[in-house]
Chains A and B, each alone.
Chain A
């Protein structure tokens, strides 16, 4: 187990360097001088463009730029935005917000999705099963921004039950709606995967044995059936955290949440390599660590899986 963990952690290093360079290179290849459009429809003075180009070392080759960036990164310096703000500060402000939102979404999709999945998996072809089938289809078919705008307008503007946007305090109660919107599509998938998995395992030998042993139904489902059926669901949920964080940009926009999606979008448009790479680097780390966590969870869920 220890060696496996170490090996996995060491694997992170080349992946980390590879992704950061790839992203740096991509932002670098976006055409256009980042400062050419800064003065509106008047041309910027050459002196201004030269000053900024030199300050951000944009006249150097991409290798030098990337090397300098990585050197500073390992000293904990994420670099500066073009309005001279510390990228580290932006990350510190935006990441917790997106993470909170993604965790709320994850919790909602786990609870509702798994609940619906288990209920329908046990009672297939009933009324509830059909209801969940139709509503999940509906959620999957609708784009996130439609669900977001409609719910925001209905609950926030028309009925005035909630604030249409999230305040900077990011209270949990305010995050329920954005979390639901963000997690809605995944929630539908979780329900369907859980339903299939439960339904399949329901006919497995060990379940029949457990029932034959005379175990109460609660124990059969809660301990034997659920635990074994969770593997595909956990895979889905685990990798979804990264996807939720990276894909939160639309939800963040609709509900005015100051998260990483917004920050990355702004930085890509303005060609701010330091900001884009720094935010994505942290996102890559989230993906990698979540994947590792999922793999470790397999062992906990299914004793037949061992890591050497």
Chain B
């Protein structure tokens, strides 16, 4: 899960699009002048990364997109959102979804000139999983056999006085280097979606130089293996990147330099965008969305897209008052999502009607019956659940723009069900998250989910399976767990998707959370860019840019 820390809140999307220069002459090339592009440079909007740039330790978008550009993984996610394909991997083979034989392409290079070998993957994954290294994404390696030997849990949680015991091993037993170009991964349990996960930034290879020094120093001058090479990082000012000329895979960069101008204020960036002083802004500020001002300002430079992000309201099921599925369904059915997206988001977000975001492969559109707007049914269910006494407070973090839509939702619940509902802001995201983590929420609260990798699995296992990494409301249904387990272990992705669909049907009846909207993204580019695409999560694909 990458999260955008910008106030606008919206993250990124999927449908690829290409712009062809309207003013281009009748030459046969598809827009863009090769001469311009070859030594061309662009300046785009960026933010200060929250961590040193180490792939397994980056979960936010500012650093995340740089890592996406600087590294090429075993598989890649096509910009159009379709199924992942091999990138650095020559082949990924399995017979039982448990043991994977991975062969990588020979003689590709890191930016420091060293060759990318199988051991660079194995070492990087072992580093990320080893708990004393404290990587944010360590849980992604939990599929691999021997993970619990290298990653020990803190017996009393992060806040408690006790320390986690030293792990008994430094390497996961499930990872075996065969030779320079081959390695074998044994998982703890069969997992059909494992190859799909391999495109996520946590699974990127690391050069030998990483292991020679400290991760922190490496993160200040990162060395990747992707189409884009790191040049410099000036705090709060800019990050400069350039083309990696020795890059041999599909997506070689066409322009030469990318300069990320680090900004804090969306409106200032937007002024620069309108007046042509910056070449790309991923999300225009909220102030430009009202009355479609941004479309008037930018004309054909406006880019509208959808992102695999769903806005959700989660229930604290550990609170007895929310334990009854009928009550939760009643609340969900009483929300007029169309009105919320039209009035609050000016139609830039779409009402949610399925549990997984429709952009995820394997997701079934319209499978959220709890997402309908049906006041009669809601009232009936509420009566069956014995009503709701007391105040129902909807919580959100007040440091991003969630106030309006959360208040609209609370108001609808109040009007349609007669429950004494209101919305309340928690000052900062950190405090908000701390309460959620500690299971101390006293009412439904805002959540959001951006898929880590494109598959319906990512919308079920982390959120609705007992013990899932983001199942913060402690929802637990044994049948869902069993079905999800079966689905994960299915021999093929198709079989897996079919099983997940069954699990989702049960989730739909229990309504452990309320999907509210599917996110959209409103970006803008300069006249200089003749051709470009967005990635499956809505980031600029710098390798596609032509000038």
Question: Do A and B come together as binding partners?
Answer: yes
Q: Which residues of A contact B (CB under 8 A)?
A: 31-53, 82-85, 89-90, 93-94, 149, 152-153, 156-157, 160, 163-165, 168, 253-256, 258, 262-263, 265-266, 269-271
Q: Mark B1-31, 1 if CB is under 8 A from A, else 0.
A: 1110000000000000000000000000000
Whether a CB of chain A sits under 8 angstroms from the CB of B401 is no
User: Which among B107-115, B241-249, B361-369, B433-441 touches the partner chain?
Assistant: B433-441
A198 to chain B, nearest CB (A): 39
Give me 18 other A-B pairs in contact (C-beta within 8 A), A36-B431, A42-B462, A47-B138 excluded. A36-B430, A37-B434, A38-B136, A39-B1, A41-B447, A41-B449, A43-B469, A45-B131, A45-B138, A46-B157, A46-B164, A47-B131, A47-B133, A47-B151, A93-B235, A256-B269, A258-B262, A269-B428
In the complex, are the beta carbons of A48 and B449 less than 8 A apart?
no
CA A52 to CA B429, docked complex, whole Å: 18
CB contact list, B121-161 vs A, under 8 A: 131-136, 138-139, 151-154, 157-159
Contact B275 A85 (CB under 8 A): no
Q: Quick check: A168 and B3 within 8 Å, CB to CB?
A: no
| Given known A38-B136, A84-B51, contact A49–B158 (CB-CB < 8 A) | yes
B48 interfacial contact with A, CB 8 Å = yes
Closest to B469 in A: A42
How far is it, in angstroms, between the C-alpha of A136 and the C-alpha of B139 when the chains are bound?
60
In the bound complex, how far is the Cα of B152 from the Cα of A47, in angstroms?
8
Whether A46 contacts B275 in the complex (CB less than 8 A), given A36-B437, A165-B268, comes out as no
Contact between A256 and B430, CB atoms less than 8 A apart: no
CA distance A258 to B447 in the complex (A): 32
Q: With a CB–CB cut-off of 8 A, which chain B residues contact A160?
A: 275
* Binary interface encoding of chain B residues 46-60 relative to chain A, with 1 for a CB under 8 A from any of its CBs, else 0: 001111100001011
- B-side contacts of A262, CB under 8 Å: 236, 264
Docked complex Cα distance between A253 and B271 (Å): 12
18 A-B pairs within 8 Å (CB atoms) are namely A38-B59, A45-B139, A46-B157, A46-B158, A48-B135, A48-B138, A50-B158, A50-B164, A51-B134, A93-B235, A93-B237, A156-B271, A160-B275, A165-B268, A165-B272, A165-B277, A253-B268, A266-B264
How far is B399's CA from A37's CA once the two chains are assembled, in angstroms? 12
| Contact yes or no, B158 A163, CB < 8 A | no
Do residues B430 and A32 form an inter-chain contact, with CB atoms below 8 A? yes
A269 to B427, CA, bound (A): 10
A53 to B161, CA, bound (A): 12
- A40-B3, A83-B52 as given contacts; A89 in contact with B235, CB under 8 Å: yes
Contact for B470 among A32, A42, A46, A53, CB less than 8 A: A42
B377 within 8 A of A: no
0 or 1 for each of B201-240: is its CB under 8 Å from A? (1 = yes): 0000000000000001001100000000000001111100
User: Are A164 and B264 within 8 A (Cβ)?
Assistant: no
Top 9 nearest A-B pairs by Cβ distance?
Answer: A51-B134, A40-B3, A32-B430, A164-B271, A32-B431, A37-B430, A49-B158, A47-B131, A256-B268
Cβ-defined partner of B271 (8 Å) among A53, A83, A93, A152: A152
B49–A83 CB distance below 8 A:
yes
Which of B134, B138, B157 has the most CB atoms of chain A within a 10 A radius of its CB? B134
Chain A residue contacts of B462, Cβ below 8 A: 42
Q: B189: CB under 8 A from chain A?
A: no
Least CB separation from B449: chain A residue: A41
CB–CB B48/A266 < 8 A:
yes
Contacts of A51 in B (CB 8 A): 132-134
Q: Does B163 contact A (CB under 8 A)?
A: yes
Interface residues of B, Cβ cutoff 8 Å to A: 1-3, 48-52, 57, 59-60, 131-136, 138-139, 151-154, 157-159, 163-164, 216, 219-220, 234-238, 261-265, 267-269, 271-272, 274-275, 277, 399, 427-434, 436-437, 447-450, 462, 469-470, 472
| A65 vs B75: C-alpha distance when bound (angstroms) | 45
Does A263 contact B428, Cβ atoms closer than 8 Å? no
Are A258 and B272 touching (Cβ within 8 A)? no
Of the candidates A34, A43, A52, A168, the one having the most CB atoms from chain B within 10 angstroms of its own CB is A43
B472 touches A43 (CB 8 A): yes
Give the contacting residue for B267; candidates A34, A254, A263, A270; CB below 8 A.
A254
Q: Give complex CA distance A263, B136 in Å.
A: 24
With a cutoff of 8 Å between Cβ atoms, the chain B residues found around residue A40 in the complex are 1-3, 59-60, 448, 450
The minimal Cβ–Cβ distance linking B94 to chain A, given in whole angstroms, is 27
Say whether A263 contacts B158, CB under 8 Å: no
Residues of A within 8 A of B271 (CB): 152-153, 156-157, 164-165
| CA of A269 to CA of B269, assembled, Å | 21
Instruction: Please report the C-alpha to C-alpha distance between residue A258 and residue B234 in the assembled complex, in whole angstroms.
Output: 11
The distance in angstroms between the C-alpha atoms of A82 and B216, with both chains bound, is 11
Q: Give CA–CA (A255, B268) in the complex, Å.
A: 6
Among A45, A90, A152, the residue within 8 A (CB) of B136 is A45
Q: Which of chain B's residues have a CB closer than 8 A to the CB of A269?
A: 399, 428
Q: Is the CB of A254 within 8 A of B136?
A: no
Q: Are A256 and B263 in contact (CB under 8 A)?
A: yes
Task: Please measure, in the bound complex, the distance between the C-alpha atom of A32 and the C-alpha atom of B433, giving whole angstroms.
Answer: 9
Which of A38, A90, A152 has the most C-beta atoms of chain B within 10 angstroms of its own C-beta? A38
Q: Which of A33, A49, A82, A156 contacts B50 (CB 8 A)?
A: A82
Asked whether A39 lies within 8 Å of B448 as measured between CB atoms, the reply is no
Chain B residue at minimal CB-CB distance from A40: B3
CA distance A119 to B220 in the complex (A): 56
Contacts known (A48-B138, A83-B51, A269-B399); A93 close to B265, Cβ less than 8 A: no
Q: Which residue of A lies closest to B155 (CB)?
A: A46
Asked whether B430 lies within 8 Å of A271 as measured between CB atoms, the reply is yes
Closest to A152 in B: B271
Are the CB atoms of A94 and B236 closer together than 8 Å?
yes
Contacts of B265 in A (CB 8 A): 253-254, 256
Chain A proximity of B241: nearest CB distance (Å): 16
